Amino acid sequence: MTYQKMILALLLTGAFLGGPPVHSKASTGVQIDTNNTQTTSRFYESMLTPGNTNMALLNLFFTKMPKGGDIHHHYDGSIYAETYLEWVGKKGWYIDKCTLRIVKEAKGTGCELLTPKQLMNDSGLYQKLLMLWSNKDYGNHYHNQPPPDSNFFNTFLYFGPIAFEYIHTGLKILKERALKENVNYIETILSLTGARSSDYFEPTAIDKYNKALREAKSQKETDLILDAIASIFLQSNKFKTTIDHYIVNVNKIHQGIDDENFTMRYQAFTIRVLDPMQVFTDLFSGYIAADKSPLITGVNIVAPENNRVALADYTLHMRMYNYLMRKYPKVHRALHAGELTLGMVRPKNLTFHIQQARDIADAERIGHGVDLPYEKNPVALLKDIKENAVIEINFSSNEFILGVKGDEHPYLIYSRYDVPLVIATDDSGVSRNNLSHEYVLLATRYHPTYERIKKYVYNSITYSFLKEEEKASLLKDLDKRFLLFEKEMANLYRDFIDH
C-alpha cells in the first residue's frame, strides 16, 4: 500500500477521527454511523475533482442514493412515449402517418393509418414520433422545428388521447421506476375532475361571468362573483356526483400502490389557458375533492405561463386561489409560478408572478420560480419564501423549456439565501430523465455539499402535503435507507482505495 493510500485508509477507518466508528441517533431514533456518513461525503467529493468529474460514478451514486419524494411530478408527462405507443396498440387504435397523432377509429383522414407495430417497423418514422411525443434527440433549434417550449407542451397533444386509458397500469410503472432508483414517495399532478362549466351554465351566463371576473378590480369584487357561481354549483346534484365519481376513481386506481416501501398521493389541477369559468370550475371541484379525500393532497395550476390567456388572467387566477383557500383552509396549494425568463414575454410580465402566487394565493410550494431575478421585490420575496414556503427545482425542464441552466439558474440565489428547496423531475417521460439524473445535474453544475444534498432529500418529505404522521413514517424510513446507503458507499470507497 502506498503512503497516500495508507493515509486515506486511516481517514476512512476513523483513526484520525478519534478511534472507532461514531454512532448518533437521527431525530427519528434511527442509529446513524457518523463515520460512514463522513466517508460517503468524501467519496462524493472525490467524484467531483476539478477537471476530472467521474460521471459514471456519479450516476451510480445518485441512482443508489435515497431520494425521498418527487413532489413536482406530472402523471401524464412522466410516462415514456414508448409505453404510450404500446397502449395505443392495446386499444386497437392507429397512428396517422402524416401527423403522427392518435386516431381511434379506422376512418379516412386523408392519410394512411398505421398500427403501432407497422409504425415501429419504419425506423425513421418511429424516431420522428419519439421526437414529437417527447424531447428525444431534439437537436439545436432551427426554424423548421417548433421552438423548445412549444415542442415540450405539444407532446401532451400527441399522447393525451391515450394517457388516461390505462392509468392504473401507468401508476404501477411509475412506482416500479421509483423503487429502482430508491424513491419512496411520489406526489403527482394527476387529472382534472371532469366538471365542466357548460354543464351548469348557459353560454350567455358563462360569457357574462367571464366578463365580470375579468373586469373585477379587487379581491372583494372577485369574491362576490365567485360566491354567486359557487352557490349554483353547490345546488347541483350533478356537480356533487361528478366530484364523488372522481374520488371513487382515484381510490380505484390507487389500489395496490401504497405499501411498506412506497407511497403515492395526488393533486387535482386546472389549466390556466382556459376561460375563467372553466378554470374556476376545475379549481372549485378540485378543492372539494381534496377536502373530502385523503389521497388528494392539493390543487395545482398548469399549462404554459407565457400563453396569452394565462398572462392576461394571472392575477384573477391568484384571486380564485385566495377565495378557495379561505373556504377550504385545509387543502394545500402548490402553484406553477415564475416559469418564465427574459425574451419569452414582455419584461412587465416577469415582475410579479411569484410574488402574487405568495401574496395573493398563499402558495405553500412554488413550482419552478425561475423569474425571481426579474421580480419587482426579489429580496423581500426571498425572505418571505425562506420563512413560509419552498421552491421546487426542475433542472431538465427549465433548461429545455426556458433555456435556463448553469450560472443563469436562480438555484444559485435560492441556495445562497438558504431558501428551502426540493429537487424534482417535472415531466420525466417528456424530458426522458429521472430523479437521479436531476441530482447528477445538481452535483455537476453547482457542487453542493453532500450534507446539503441530503437536506434537499429530507425536504421532499418534510414539505410534502402528506399528513404529519405519514411524514414521520417516511422520514424514519429515509433514515434507515441512508444508513444502508452510506454503509454500502463507504465500503465501496474503501474497496477502491485498496485497489
In this structure, which amino acid lies at residue 294?
A: P
User: Which residue segment(s) compose the domain that 49 sits in?
Assistant: 3-69+487-498
Looking at the structure, do residues 147 and 116 belong to the same domain, yes or no?
yes
For residues 34-58, b (16+ Cβ closer than 10 Å) or e, as one string? Answer: ebbbbbbbbbbeebeeeeeeeeebb
The residue to which cell 387535482 is assigned: 268
Same domain flag for 402 and 491: no
The CA distance from 9 to 6, in Å, is 5
State the cell numbers at 473. 413514517
Name, in order, each residue with C-beta under 8 angstroms of 20's C-beta and a sequence gap of 6 or more. Answer: 14
Residue 445 grid coordinates = 453544475
The count of other CB atoms within 10 Å of the CB of residue 175 is 20
pLDDT tens for the chain, 499 residues long, are 443 444 344 333 333 333 444 455 666 666 667 899 999 999 999 999 888 899 999 999 999 999 999 999 999 999 999 999 999 999 999 999 999 999 998 876 678 999 999 999 999 999 999 989 998 877 655 545 677 777 777 887 888 888 888 999 999 999 999 999 999 999 999 999 999 999 999 999 999 999 999 999 999 999 999 999 999 999 999 999 999 999 999 999 999 999 999 999 999 999 999 999 999 999 999 999 999 999 999 999 999 999 999 999 999 999 999 999 999 999 999 999 999 999 999 999 999 999 999 999 999 999 999 999 999 999 999 999 999 999 999 999 999 899 999 999 999 999 999 999 999 999 999 999 999 999 999 999 999 999 999 999 999 999 999 999 999 999 999 999 999 999 999 999 999 887 7
- Look-up: residue for cell 399532478? 189
Instruction: Write the DSSP assignment of 356-415 as a string of letters.
Output: HHHHTT--SEEEE-TTGGGSSSHHHHHHHHHHH-EEEE-HHHIIIII---GGGSTHHHHH
Q: What is the CATH number of the domain that holds 373?
A: 3.20.20.140
Query: What does DSSP say about strands 102-103 and 113-114: parallel, antiparallel, or unpaired?
Result: unpaired
12 closest CA partner among 36, 34, 31, 32: 36
Q: Residue 437 is which amino acid?
A: H
In angstroms, the CA 226 to CA 320 distance is 8
Pairwise CA distance, residues 143 & 147, whole Å: 8
Q: Tell whether 145 and 19 lie within a shared domain.
A: no
Q: Are residues 158 and 251 in the same domain?
A: no
Q: Is 279 part of a structural domain of the chain?
A: yes
Residue 82 cell numbers, joined: 414508448
Other CB atoms within 10 Å distance of the CB of residue 252: 10
Are 78 and 162 in contact by the 8 Å Cβ rule? The answer is no
Q: Tell me: do 266 and 191 sit in the same domain.
A: yes
H/E segment holding residue 190 = strand 185-191
Any idea how long the chain is?
A: 499
Looking at the fold, whether 48 and 128 belong to one and the same domain comes out as no
Burial class of residue 208 (count of CB atoms within 10 Å of its CB; 0-12, 13-18, 19+): middle
> Does residue 88 form part of some domain?
yes
Amino acid at site 385? I
List 188's β-bridge partners, or say none: 73, 266
Which residue, among 396, 317, 379, 438, has the nearest Cα to 152 in the 3D structure?
396
- Cα dihedral sign, 348-353-354-360: positive
CB distance 197 to 206 below 8 Å: yes
| Total number of domains constituting the chain | 3
Within a domain: 35: yes
Q: Is residue 477 part of a domain?
A: no
Which residue carries 429537487 as its cell? Answer: 423
- Pair (234, 203) in one structural domain: yes
Q: Can you point out the beta strands (E) in 28-81?
A: 31-33, 48-49, 52-53, 69-74
- Listing DSSP states for 303-369 in one string gives S-TTSHHHHHTHHHHHHHHHHHHHH-TTSEEEEEE----BTTB-GGGGSSHHHHHHHTT--SEEEE-
The dihedral region occupied by 39, where left means phi > 0, alpha psi between -120 and 50, and beta the remainder, is alpha
Instruction: Tell me phi and psi for residue 448, to 5 degrees.
Output: -70, 160
Of 273, 301, 276, 404, the residue nearest 344 (C-alpha): 404
Q: Tell me how far apart the alpha carbons of residues 150 and 252 are, in angstroms, rounded to a whole number.
A: 34
pTM of structure: 0.91
Q: What is the pLDDT of residue 143?
A: 45
Domain assignment present for 482: no
pLDDT at site 228: 98
- Considering the domain architecture, whether residues 341 and 197 belong to the same structural domain is answered as yes
Is residue 357 within 8 Å of 318, Cβ to Cβ?
Answer: yes
Give CA–CA dist 499/497, Å, rounded: 5
For residue 149, how far is the Cα from the chain centroid? 17
Q: Are residues 98 and 40 in the same domain?
A: no
- Cα–Cα distance for residue pair 40/67, rounded to 1 Å: 15
If asked whether residues 254 and 151 sit together in one domain, one would say no
Q: What is the CA radius of gyration of the chain?
A: 24
Do 128 and 203 fall within a single domain?
no
| 478 occurs within a structural domain | no
C-alpha cell at 228: 354567486
Task: Flag whether 227 is in a domain.
Answer: yes
* Residues 181, 185, 189, 190, CA torsion sign: positive
40 shares its domain with 103: no
Does residue 170 form part of some domain?
no
